[in-house]
Amino acid sequence: MAQKLFIGGLSFSTSTDRLRELFAQAGVVESAAVVTDRETGRSRGFGFVEMATPAEADAAVKKFNGQEVDGRTLKVELAKPPGLGGGGARGGGSSRSRW
């Protein structure tokens, strides 16, 4: 089963192709994408890479987290599924009912 990674700290010059080539050093890359601003098309400084297996994803985290690439230090971690990033519609600090 494929495992998605969050890649933070990307240089604004790092392309999707460069990201794919880089992470291929750790295993099979199913997909790679640098997130861009809709209006300007400029990189937002982060992206996602989907590795073919959890073992390859772990290897990529170990290999690239904290490494300097294109002049910036990467933050590489397992991507959180949507809705688990905190906050959200019910994400308050209190467990008491509002009513």
Domain boundaries, the chain: 3-78
CATH class of 3-78: alpha beta
CA distance 49 to 60: 10
pTM equals: 0.80
Asked whether residue 88 carries a pLDDT value surpassing 50, the answer given is no
Q: In the prediction, which pLDDT does 57 show?
A: 97
How many CB atoms are located within 10 Å of the residue 57 CB? 25
**pLDDT at position 90, please?**
47
Predicted confidence (pLDDT) per residue in 20-68, tens digit: 999 999 999 999 999 999 999 999 999 999 999 999 999 999 999 999 9
Q: How confident is the model at residue 83 (pLDDT cuts 50, 70, 90)?
A: confident
3-state helix, strand, coil in the chain (%, to 5): 20, 30, 45
